Each structure stands twice: as C-alpha cells, then as structure tokens.
Amino acid sequence: MSTSSPPIPSTPLMTPAPPTSAAMLGADGMPMRFGKYMLLRKIASGGMAEIFLAIQRSVAGFEKLIVIKRILPQMNQDRAFIEMLLQEARIAATLSHPNIVQIFDVGEVDGRFYIAMEHVHGEDLRSVVRQMKTKGTLDFPLEHALAIILGMCQGLAYAHDKTELDGSHLGIVHRDISPQNVVVTFTGDVKIVDFGIAKSDNKPLESATKSGKLKGKVPYMSPEQARGENIDHRSDIFAVGVMLFELTTGKRLFKGRSEYETLKLICERDYPLPSQVRPGYPPDLEQIVLMALAKSPAQRYQTARDMQADIEAFVRRRQIAVSNIALNKFMQGLFEEKLAAQKEALLQGKQLADIIDYHRGAEQELEMTGERRLSMTASSMPAAAHTVTNLPAQRSSGGFIALLAAGFGVLLLLGGVGGFLWMRKAPVAAEQRPDPGLRGTIDVSSDPPGAAIWINGDLRPETTPAAIGGLPLNTNLDVKLSKDGFENGRESLQLEDGKVRKVSVALKKGSVVVEVSIKPEGVPATMAVDGKTFKGLLDGLTSGEQHKLFVTAPGYVEQTIPFMGNAMETKRFDVILEKAKVAKPAASDAPSKPTATVAAPPPATAEPKGNGKISVAASGGWCNVSIDGAPRGATPVAGIEISSGNHRVTCTTQDGKTLSATVSVPVDGTARHKFTL
C-alpha cells in the first residue's frame, strides 16, 4: 500500500482496478455475499450447520428477507449426511401451509450446501415463556395457549395428510415437536419450524435411523419414540399434548434429573392429572389433554384434526376469546424493547448490504468494460446509498481511492487490502434546515465523537457531532447514541419552538459484569479481579481488555482464570476448588508432635495427569457449547473425552447471550456442568 494518494481529478470519475476482496464491514464479515443471497447476520450455530438472516434480491427492486441454513465445511465430507439433508429438504419443500415454515430453495455455493427458508419474525415458545417470567407474568393466558395449540394442530394435520402427486400418502412425521420448534410471530400467527429431521414413510432416512440416536427433545417424546420403536404421526400428537399440559398448568410434565430419568417418567410412570397440578382445571379440557397423552397410540387422537375439533368445541362452549389479533397484541407488548432493537439492527444491516451490492455492481461493470470511468446517478444508487449522500470530499494517506459522485458528493474510501467502506455525512448546513417555525432542529454531540445516532429507533446517516433538522415539534423524541466499546447513551426530549436544542452525551466505557459461584459451597473463599476483592458479583470492569480472576481458600489450590468481556456482557464462572496436597510428617517425628501442613500448588509446568470426560447441559433452553474455544455442538453435550484439569466452557444462546464457566475435569472421571439460561 502506498504512503501517499494521487491527486483527485476534478471530473466526476473514476476508480482504479477494484479491490481484490469483498467489502468486509463487520468483525464477522457481515454483511457478505453468498451466491444469489446477501447474508446479513448469523442467528445461530450448531454442530452441523449455521443459520443466517439474509436478503434475496431479483429484478425490478424485488427484495425478500429469508433464512439460510448453511452446512458447516467439515460436514461436507460426510456424503451420507448430505444425502440425508437433501432428502429431508425435499420432504419439507413439499409443504406449503400458513402454520409451517416454507422451504424455498436447496443448493450449493462454493462447495457449501444450504437450505433457504421462510423468515419468520417472531419468537419460539420457549423464549415467550422466558420473557413472561422476566415481565412478572407467571400464568400463560388460556386463550393464547389454545390459539397456539390450534395453530400447531392445523399445521400438523396438513403435514400428516400430505400426499405425492400420484395420491400416495407421504406419511410425514415431524419427530421434534417442542417449544423450540414452535414460533409465535409478532402478527399473531403460529409456525412450526425445523422439519429437518422429519420422516417420510415413502422416503425413509436410512442414515438417520441407523445411527441408533434418538431424534427430538426428550421431554416431548412419546413412549414409543423414547423406547426407540417405529413411530407414526400419533407421536407428534403426544408431543402436542405435552405442550398443552404445560401451557395450561404452568408446570413441566416430564422433568427428571437426567435424560434417563426423564425417559423412565415417560415410559413407566403414571402421568399427573392437570387438575392435580392446577385446582379448578376445566374437566372437558382435561379430557382432551389425557386423550392426547395416552401411552398407547391406539388410544390417542388418531389425527391432529380430531384434536383440533375437540379444542374448537371447548372454545365455543366456554366462549373463550381465541384470536390472532389478541395474540398479536400480546406478543407486541411482551417484546416491545426487543422489537425496537431488531428494527435498528435490521436497518443497519440492510444499509450495509445495499452499499456492498452497489459497489459489487460497479466492480462488475469495470470488469466487463475495462473502463476506469464510473458515472453515478440517483436512479442507479441503492436505497442505502441515497442516505449517505452530501459527503465532503476527503483524502486519506492509506492508499484509499475516492469516488466522487457529481451532484451528491458521495465519498467511499476503499481500503486496498480489506476493501473497507467508510461513510460519513457532514452536518446539515444552516441554510438547508426546514423553516424553524414549522419543524425543529437538534445539535447532537458526544464524548468521544463519532457515535451513530438513532431517533425513535431509526438509524440516522449522520454521526456525532451533527445538526439534524426537520424534526417534529411537541413530539417525544428518543435520541440514542451508540459506539463500539461504549455503552449506549440516551436522552428523551420534545422540541417546542424554533430554537436549536443541544443534546450532549458523555458515553461511558462499556463495562463487564463478573459473577462467581464456588464449589464446594460454604468454603470461605477470597475472590479478586486484577487485585480488587469482591463477593459473588463485580460490576464496572472495562470491556475489551484482559483481566484475571483469582480465587483462593485455605486448604485449596489457588486458581487463576484470565478472561476478556464485551461491553454489557456478564461473565459467569463456576469455580470448582481442589484440595491442596498436604505434606506428610517425617518418620522420625513423634506421633504426638504437631506437624505443619503446607499447601502445595502444582507447578506451572506440570504435565497433564491423564484424561477424563466432560458433559454440558442447559436448563431453560439450549445453547451452543465450546470447550477451550473449540465448538462442541448444541446442548446436551455428553461424554466428551478431554485432558484432566481446568477447561473453559462457553455456552452461547441463539440470541447471542454468552455464559462461561471454568470446569475441572478429574482423571478417569466425568465432570458435569449445567448452565441456567
């Protein structure tokens, strides 16, 4: 990269050869091009695949939000798995119903197989229940519980009855009906997701069934599924019965101390009556639950449509106001804050995707024509590019090339190696502001400067400092400033006259919270981070910097745990103390003579003493597990062989929440750790 930039010509021109790599605007490379799709952000990652929110674009401005399930590179070598995946996708793609997530496409890009599916804007049922607890709502409203179950019955009835074009019955069974796979949208609809392990009688998944592994979530398995027997659509009906029981009683039906105990509860024990769990439970609804939960498939509802009919009759008799509109309002109120945050993130990702597509189009034009002249017009620019116009012409000493658009003053600084796009809009000039008698203006600044500006949830193209005009009077304005490495700053205000209102926010360095629990319990341990002692919880640590946690206790080996946290992150450590070795008395000492005991911590260079195993579980949901930075799949993760000693275990939920713990693995033993989500 050269140390100086060539003179910028005065004509509205021009760019040298395009950069050698795609623009990378985020730490994770998002947004990024993937075949005909633009990946906006990663939603989740597991042991076999990763899930992305993406945009599909076509001619005439066609845009559609979708979800991409991309198979991890290491799985591409397993041809049996790929064949199973494609077969499952073919089964799921035949389903088109309002209560089932639609599969749009299956393909391969640069050797990476993927499935493109419908984007559902909502939350899975597990997240709904968790959010209710956060809001202090303990009882799931009966009308909403019944609306969700009715939607599930309709979707399953359609899938179970699905036939081939020649009329032959497909015999589709979902096999994993559970709260994680039922999504309630913010418009009040119910969607069944992840037919990824669906089974079809006409297209048996040999590689899946020969593995000897149970498919599905154990607490929602039917007795025949738990025993590993052949199953049909009535197994799905049993799972719906479990969810109806739990939603209407507020209690888990099958919850043992281990998966083995849970399987025994399903197969061998008598199930409690809903009225025993919740006094006053409607007797006619209890009969529906019991019929769905019959241990013998022959005594259950024979079709999901039969169960749907009985629930609808119950709703009519009891005059319960089951409504998608009411469910819509319930979801909107429950996730009000999250909806605003999602809107911000989506807008930002969409803008970056627009600019990447625009730049990519410009590069392709140059490659096709061999010309070095680029003429940009307002009609040829993507939507996001229109929001970053009126930029001052600037130069950088890093070998960056300026693209100056006539009439717009757009500046795109293209990094020669990384292809990095940098955008900034100058403050609005005073003469450009609207009539102050009609609208208002705010002058926004921050310490440090360069913060993004959000007004009522909408991302502005300016960064601080900036003057923003054209704002409504006598209206609540929520001004939020965000900057990497700092906590968000907020100020609420109203503009009441034509005067310029100043908004100045000092941004606080993003902080990390540390929470520590000690085992064995009751040990008088001393905890300190970077020399600062605390008990249980420590707040205010600087984010993005290396810290060290020290744990000491009389008679136990001292432990040192280095860590680094992101802004607003809570780092949780479960520290298992090990007894210190005690020096034995010398043989010449008299038995009655007191002998000093000396704690002997192992030397720093000690070799591993052997191997053990580690098992990781999660309560209140599931998460992706990594051990010492290596991904190990989604919970539960059991029997992973690893060297003895302390290991760093990280649990990442589908919404990006990260929990961490240090787990001590004994020699020839198994260490077990459970995260509470």
Task: Please state, in angstroms and rounded to a whole number, the distance separating the CA atoms of residues 499 and 440.
Answer: 7
In the chain the first and final C-alpha atoms are separated, in Å, by: 47
Task: Please state, in angstroms and rounded to a whole number, the distance separating the CA atoms of residues 512 and 530.
Answer: 13
Map 468-518 to HEC letters: EEEECCCCCEEEEEECCCECCEEEEECCCCCCEEEEEEECCECEEEEEEEE
Active site residue 443: no
| Token code pair at residue 150 | 């009715």
Q: DSSP letter string over 610-662? A: -EEEEEEEEESS--EEEETTEEEEESPEEEEEEESEEEEEEEE-TTS-EEEEE
User: How far is CA 134 from its chain centroid?
Assistant: 18
Compute how many other C-beta atoms are within 10 angstroms of the C-beta atom of residue 478: 13
307-312-317 Cα angle (round to 5): 125
- Indicate the DSSP class of residue 335: T
- 550: CB partners within 8 A, 6+ apart: 526, 527, 528, 529, 558, 559, 560
**Annotated catalytic residue, options 28, 78, 176, 574:** 176
Cα–Cα distances (Å) from 304 to 217, 233, 309, 406, 502, in that order, read: 20, 8, 9, 63, 61
| Token code pair at residue 129 | 């229940």
Instruction: For strands 500-506 and 624-627, give the pairing.
Output: unpaired
Contact of 103 with 116, CB cutoff 8 Å: yes
Half-sphere CA count of 291, side-chain side, radius 13 A: 15
Q: Which residue has the tokens 């633009």?
A: 38
**Among residues 182, 108, 137, 529, which one has the least CA distance to residue 334?**
137
Compute how many other C-beta atoms are within 10 angstroms of the C-beta atom of residue 536: 10
**Among residues 498, 460, 500, 497, which one has the least CA distance to residue 478?**
460
Query: Catalytic amino acids?
Result: 176
